[in-house]
Amino acid sequence: MARSRVAILIMGVVLWCCLTTPAKAEYMKYKDPKQPIPVRIQDLLDRMTLEEKIGQMVQIERKVASADVMKEYFIGSVLSGGGSVPAPQASAETWINMVNDFQRGSLSTRLGIPMIYGIDSVHGNNNVYKATIFPHNIGLGASRDPELVNKIGAATALETRATGIPYAFAPCIAVCRDPRWGRCYESYSEDPQIVKDMTDIIPGLQGNIPTDSPKGVPFVAGKNNVVACSKHYVGDGGTTKGINENNTVIDWQGLLSIHMPAYHTSIMKGVSTVMISYSSWNGIKMHANRELITGFLKNTLGFKGFVISDWEGLDRITYPPHANYSYSIQAGIHAGIDMVMVPYNYKEFIDGLTFHVKNNVIPMSRIDDAVRRILRVKFVMGLFENPLADNSLVDQLGSQEHRELAREAVRKSLVLLKNGQSLNRPLLPLPKKTSKILVAGSHADNLGYQCGGWTIEWQGFNGNNRTIGTTIVAAIKNTIDPSTNVVFKENPNAEFVKSNNFSYAIVVVGEHPYAETDGDSMNLTIADPGPTTIRNVCGALKCVVIIISGHPVVIEPYLASIDALVAAWLPGTEGQGVADVVFGDYGFTGKLPRTWFKTVDQLPMNVGDPHYDPLYPFGFGITTEPTTRQSDDNPFLSISSYFN
């Protein structure tokens, strides 16, 4: 009896020990940064349910996101659409807190797969208050300076990471072949070679790819860099009449030689993601084009990152959009799209895709390919090791160093199209010291206008109170001699101009901000009252006209009365760069990245075309030397610039 009691007691102690000793945690290879990335991907993929896999393929807008949504639906990514912010004039810390809140929801799931947050940092972190806004791509194309663009990429990465965001939907590597396209300013040039050269922004954004890195594999150097996205694949800049989201009619050889080269170069530089275009190629919607997405991009070019749709891109496979969403899901995923920018109706997308997989319409192998690619990018960028952002980079947002870089970019992007009514009497550079000058025009004192679309709001803004920067009139006042009287009048009448004894005038006019389809234009005119301002001022005074625009505009009717003409494109927040060159502290060096037409009836017209008859040809740009001239008593300086 005693023995049995002892035995029972011993068994009890053993049982108690078993129940109270914590079980050894299971070793999960995907959580081990020492494991090779392919091993980590496969280990995680093997553990995932269909629900968890499909969740990774979903990108939702921040307005419908929450920690609970991230957890319940295993959402793989969140984005801010244009102008979608946590609060007006939100600080970097506010952004970080929002992103981390969503991330904690993702980390609380069974497998703890972190989400990736994306934003349109297309010319700086342009949704964010106080961020440095760099010139739009068309201006950077005028600079012909890949090294500069690389530095802008690195600065943009820091300012994007400053807000806790690790994914930028940039660069746009469209080759704009018709300036009537509303996105033409997002294109570096009509010339495929210049667009290829400007893919140097990718190692700026992501970091320099190691020399031994396998071709086609995505690369992100670390926490100071972001995931980049080459867009919009492919042919978005070649649509008929430049109509946004329209049909690009071109043969295979033309597509390969004009629109494809920059994608091949991007992949060689380790770009992590590629976004699909809304447009069609010879009548086939790109979002449904399996031949070009899976066949060419993935299989032929060897792209190993993930392919992402554009905003509601699957919906637009049909016309009208969303007319047959079940078909759109099937067509888009089958074509090879890995992550879908839903952005709102995520439950409908998840249910639809789940239905197709369970009914063998979409094979599990296609889902696994998509998730493998998404996980590859997340592992490569170190997101599993560093899923939460901290405040260590907040001082990078709008830093003085980045503003100086943007100012340099503005200087190098300016193209001087005319300088004086005759070769031996150039007007520029202007003297800093004179009695009185007139500054006129709707764009002279308007930060929103000089930044253009994709700034604070999707369509841009009007005025000076939405972010921080230097307007052109403020830059002029900063630059001229203190004794020079500057008079600013937005739209002076002819009598005012004639009766005030001005030494010369600077007129700043152009287009109002726009983005995407809202920018499509069949007439490409300067916004009113710009033409009136030019006539009133340039009819009476020596005048410099500075054009702020996203593409060439009709200027020939006014050209005879204009003494000097500058294409300043969309320079961004650092208007001081304009004054730096106009007043001769630096010389003009920019060259036209695209042909400047005489009339819109000539369009489309690109260099090399048989009917090429431009007002100013592709590559044109008068150069000047810097000068220390302080008075207007020697008009013959810079004459040699006409012969460069």
pLDDT at residue number 422: 87
- Max CA-CA distance within the chain? 124
Q: Does the structure show a pLDDT above 50 at 6?
A: no
Peptide bond into 334 cis (omega under 30): no
Extended strands (E) in 271-320: 273-276, 280-281, 284-285, 306-308
pLDDT for 31-48, tens place per residue?
999 999 999 999 999 999
DSSP assignment of 607-641, as one string?
TT-TT---SB-TT--B--------SSS-TTTTGGG
- What integer pLDDT is reported at residue 314 of this predicted model? 98
Question: Listing from the earlier edge strand, what are the strands of the sheet with 116-119?
Answer: 167-168, 116-119, 77-80, 58-61, 340-341
Decide: 195 and 189 in contact? Cβ < 8 Å. yes
Q: Residue 640 — very low, low, confident or very high, per pLDDT cuts 50/70/90?
A: very low
Q: Which residues, 6+ apart, have CB-to-CB distance to 389 below 8 Å?
A: 96, 99, 100, 161, 164, 165, 166
pLDDT band at 423 (very low <50, low <70, confident <90, very high): confident
- In angstroms, the CA 606 to CA 126 distance is 30
**Residue 369, Cβ density class (10 Å: 0-12 exposed, 13-18 middle, ≥19 buried):** middle
Question: Which CATH number applies to 38-396?
Answer: 3.20.20.300
- 3-state DSSP assignment of residue 250: coil
Contacts of 387 (CB under 8 A, 6+ apart): 103, 106, 107, 114
For the segment 470-492, the average pLDDT, to the nearest whole number, is 98
**Is 191 designated active site?**
no
Contact of 317 with 352, CB cutoff 8 Å: no
What integer is the mean pLDDT of 344-373?
98
414-616 — its CATH code? 3.40.50.1700
* Main-chain dihedrals φ then ψ at residue 343, nearest 5 degrees: -95, -15
Q: Give the pLDDT mean for 181-191.
A: 98
Q: How far apart are the first and last CA of the chain?
A: 112
Given the residues 186, 236, 310, 563, select the one marked as catalytic. Answer: 310
In the chain, pLDDT over 70 holds for what percent of residues?
94
Tell me the per-residue pLDDT of 117-144, one tens digit each, with 9 for 90 and over: 999 999 999 999 999 999 999 999 999 9
Per the annotation, the verdict on 516 as an active-site residue is: yes
SS3 percent helix, strand, coil of the chain, rounded to 5, is 40, 10, 50
Two structure tokens written together for 310 = 């554009």
For residue 115, pLDDT over 90 is answered with: yes
Element containing residue 373 per DSSP (H, E)? helix 364-380
pLDDT tens digit string along 207-242? 999 999 999 999 999 999 999 999 999 999 999 999
The rounded distance, in Å, linking the Cα atoms of 448 and 466 is 8
| Residue 17, token pair as written in the block | 């020990």
Closest by alpha carbon to 183, among 520, 523, 549, 547? 520
- Which residue type is seen at 297? L
pLDDT of residue 584: 98
Residue 15 has a pLDDT of 45
- Per-residue pLDDT at 7 exceeds 60: no
What is residue 628's predicted lDDT score, i.e. its pLDDT? 63
Tokens of 300: 């032929």
Helix axes 364-380, 37-47, angle to 10 degrees: 130
The residue among 1 and 188 whose pLDDT is bigger is 188
pLDDT digit string, tens, across residues 436-465 = 999 999 999 999 999 999 999 999 999 999
Estimate to the nearest angstrom the gap between the alpha carbon of 150 and the chain centroid: 14
Q: Which of 19-33, 108-122, 179-193 comes out lowest in average pLDDT?
A: 19-33
Compute CA distances 226 → 53, 188, 190, 267, 343, whole Å: 24, 21, 27, 16, 21
Dump pLDDT digits (tens) for 556-565.
Answer: 999 999 999 9
Q: Which of 457, 516, 520, 563 is catalytic?
A: 516
Q: What is the arithmetic mean of pLDDT over 533-537?
A: 98
Average pLDDT, the chain: 94
For residue 540, pLDDT beyond 60: yes
Given strand 306-308, what is the order of strands in its sheet?
229-233, 273-276, 306-308
| Domain ranges, ordered by start, for the chain | 38-396, 414-616
Residue 264, Cβ density class (10 Å: 0-12 exposed, 13-18 middle, ≥19 buried): middle
Report pLDDT digits (tens) over 610-635: 999 999 999 999 999 998 644 444 43
Rounded to whole angstroms, the Cα distance separating 325 from 348 reads 9
